[in-house]
Amino acid sequence: MTTSTTFKTAISSVAAILVLLCLLTAFAACIDPEQPDGDVFADGASMTLAIAEEPTRTIEVDLSGLDKNISLLDVFDKEDIDYVAESGMLYKVGSLEPTAPEYIYLYTSVTADFDVSQYATTIDFDGKTLTNSGVGAADMTVEDGCIIYVGTIVY
């Protein structure tokens, strides 16, 4: 093998590696970091959001095309519902703004979010039994057909 052939082989190898790196970079640029798995709700997907205002406000939220990893806070943002959340606590949702010893309390139809402690409570809403959430608003599961009820409780 001559020096010229070795040099050409080395140049070809470097060129192939550069082309591969360019292709990988282009592919990586197409991936949305906000949607790592690209899993979105199908057309027609929806959920019910109820806020215990006077009277109770019930909103049918269209989830079509939204990322399946959205939280309850994302739903509030989507529906332009004013809220105050600090350190994992909700202090205001819409016109619901209780003062101590009354606090905002979340109920859900999503089994994965049920409070499983001895202090779990339930409410009936629209003919369905909802259980208080064992997770905060930012971590609640939103799924097609679910009901989330924003109410209050006195401690």
For 60-84, the DSSP string reads EEE-TT-BTT--HHHHHHHTT--EE
Alpha helices in 1-155 (DSSP H): 3-29, 72-78
Peptide linkage before 101 cis (omega within 30 of 0): yes
Question: pLDDT grade, residue 51 (50/70/90)?
Answer: very high
Residue type, 7: F
User: What's the first-to-final CA gap in the chain, in angstroms?
Assistant: 85
- pLDDT of 22 reads 44
18: pLDDT strictly greater than 70 = no
- pLDDT of 102 reads 96
Kindly report the pTM of this predicted structure: 0.75
Q: How many CB atoms lie within 10 A of CB 129?
A: 10
Question: pLDDT grade, residue 35 (50/70/90)?
Answer: very low
Q: What is the mean pLDDT of the chain?
A: 86
